[in-house]
Every structure is written in C-alpha cells, then in structure tokens.
Amino acid sequence: MMSYLDLIFGLLGNFVSLMVFLAPVPTFIQIYKKKSTEGFQSVPYVVGLFSAMLWIYYALLKTDTTLLITINSVGCFVHTAYISFYLCYAPKSARLQTGMLILLLNIIGMSLIVVLTYFLADGSTRGNIVGWICLIFSLCVFVAPLFILRQVIRTKSVEYMPFLLSLFLTISAVMWFFYGLLRKDYNIAIPNVVGFTFGVIQMVLYVIYKGAKKAMEERLPEIQVDAQKNSEIREQIIDAVTLSALVCPEIVPALPQLVRRDNFDLQNEINIATST
C-alpha cells in the first residue's frame, strides 16, 4: 500500500521527469522552422521509447505502481510524437535507419522480453527478471554521460552540457531514489544513486569550466589550429556523443543537436587543440 510519503516523491518524480521529456521541444521547433532534420539523430527518442515501454511492463507485473505507469505512458506518447515528427522531415536514408531501429529494438526486442519472461517464468520471478533488466538498462543510461564528461574535461568547455538539464536529471534521480527506497523496490532506487552521482559531477564540472570559454576568446587571435587535426577531433566528438545517445534515453533528449556535422563550433575545436 502506498504511503503519503511515497505519493509525494512519486508525484515530484513524475513532474521533474516530465520536464526532462519536454527538453527536446526547442530542437523540434528548429526542425519545423527549417523543414529539415539537418543531421539530428532519432536514436535518443527510439531508445527513450523502449525504456518507457520496458518500465511500463515492469510496473504491470508489480502492485500499486500507478505513478510509474503514468509517467512512462507519457514518455511513450512524447517519444512517439518526437519520432513521428522526425520522420516527417528526415531524409530517406534517416527514415530507413529509424525504421530499422524501431523494428529491432521496440518491436522485436520488446516482444522477445515479454514472450520469454511470460513463458519461462511466473509470478514474482517474472517481475524480478524484468526488474533486473530495467536496473541494468538504467545503469547504462546513467553511466553513458561519462562520454560527455570526458569531452568537457578535454575541451574545458561546458558548451555542450546544459546546466538546467543536468539539474533536472539530478533532482529526478533524487525523487525516484526515495520513491524506490520507501517502497523497497531497489530496481528503481539503485540506478538513481548512480544518476544522482553523475548529475552532481556534471554540475561541479559546469561550475569549474563555465568561465573557460571567455578566457579562450581572449586568446583566440593568438591561436592557429591545423585543419586536418580539426577534422579528426570533430569525428571523435561525433562518435562520443552518438554512443552516448545510443544508451542514454533520459539524458540525451537535449543532446541530438550535438551530432550535427555541419554546425560544430570552431571555438570548441580550438579548446581541444590547445588543451593537448
């Protein structure tokens, strides 16, 4: 039976998670205005949809999990809307890639999890197995930002790590940790310990490096960067961010703009070159 304290943390978790889900709205406004996805990735939204579907399945196997179902139902709706909107403006190759990913992950992958757990386990065992799957997947979600943190440390720039998003994710992790702890559901609580830890690290790095860009602007006239090295660095950043997007549905909603190949900031490349 849910206590008042569970209810409070669950409602707060729903609210903060909703803010995180809505983080990509400015990205899609930009896509709508330009009538083009311009290299934005659909991977974060497809993986986000899978994550929401997985948690709903877990919640249905447990009792008194209304708040877990509500927020992930909203997540399914929001990510489906993002994907549909993306497909309207994406080039043919991107549409095919997105369709293939949806087929493999959201249809085949999710169906296998449901069918195998349904026929190979029963009762509480089924819930425990799905809970472990959710726990492992969530740990991947929270560990993925290490790739972004590495770039922040190397570049000494927080340009690609929005502070507000880090703050909301940290608060969300706190809310869901206490919700899971009070309900003694450690599949929910444990991953959010990791989420809170990395959220705090992100905010600390933001405070440390937020003044780095201004300092580099003062040195800009004195710096010259080799063009070939710039290209190699750009590819490294793209690979790191894309990999983060692949396993991080909760954090990367605001990050797809990072993988735009035609709009990387030269200042960021200069920061990398001068830090080596």
Q: How far apart are CA 95 and CA 37, in angstroms?
A: 11
Q: How far apart are CA 105 and CA 213, in angstroms?
A: 39
Closest CA to 143 of 97, 190, 106, 98: 190
Contact assessment for residue 40 and residue 256, using Cβ atoms and an 8 Å cutoff? yes
- Mean pLDDT to the nearest integer, 45-73: 90
> Which contacts of 198-201 are long-range, i.e. CB under 8 A and separated by 24 or more positions?
198/142, 198/143, 198/145, 198/146, 198/149, 199/166, 199/167, 199/169, 199/170, 199/173, 200/170, 201/149
Q: Which amino acid is at 258?
A: L
Name the phi and psi angles at 36, rounded to 5: -160, 145
- Mean pLDDT to the nearest integer, 64-70: 88
Q: What is the mean pLDDT of the chain?
A: 76
- Mean pLDDT to the nearest integer, 72-94: 92
The C-alpha angle 139, 142, 146, rounded to 5 degrees, equals 120
Q: Which pLDDT value is given to residue 112?
A: 95
Q: Given pLDDT bands bounded at 50, 70 and 90, which one contains residue 226?
A: very low
pLDDT at 261 over 70: no
**pTM score of the predicted model:** 0.72
pLDDT at 101 over 90: yes
Q: Given pLDDT bands bounded at 50, 70 and 90, which one contains residue 100?
A: very high
More confident residue, 171 or 241: 171
pLDDT at 249 over 50: no
Which tokens belong to 38? 């311009």
Q: Given pLDDT bands bounded at 50, 70 and 90, which one contains residue 213?
A: low
More confident residue, 8 or 163: 8
Neighbours of 79 (CB within 10 A): 25
pLDDT at 275 over 90: no
Q: Which pLDDT value is given to residue 65?
A: 85
Contact assessment for residue 10 and residue 179, using Cβ atoms and an 8 Å cutoff? yes
More confident residue, 235 or 190: 190
Q: Given pLDDT bands bounded at 50, 70 and 90, which one contains residue 23?
A: confident
Q: Given pLDDT bands bounded at 50, 70 and 90, which one contains residue 243?
A: very low
pLDDT at 2 over 80: no
For the ranges 113-127, 129-143, 232-246, the one whose mean pLDDT is highest:
113-127
Q: How far apart are CA 271 and CA 276, in angstroms?
A: 9
pLDDT at 270 over 70: no
Q: Given pLDDT bands bounded at 50, 70 and 90, which one contains residue 125?
A: confident
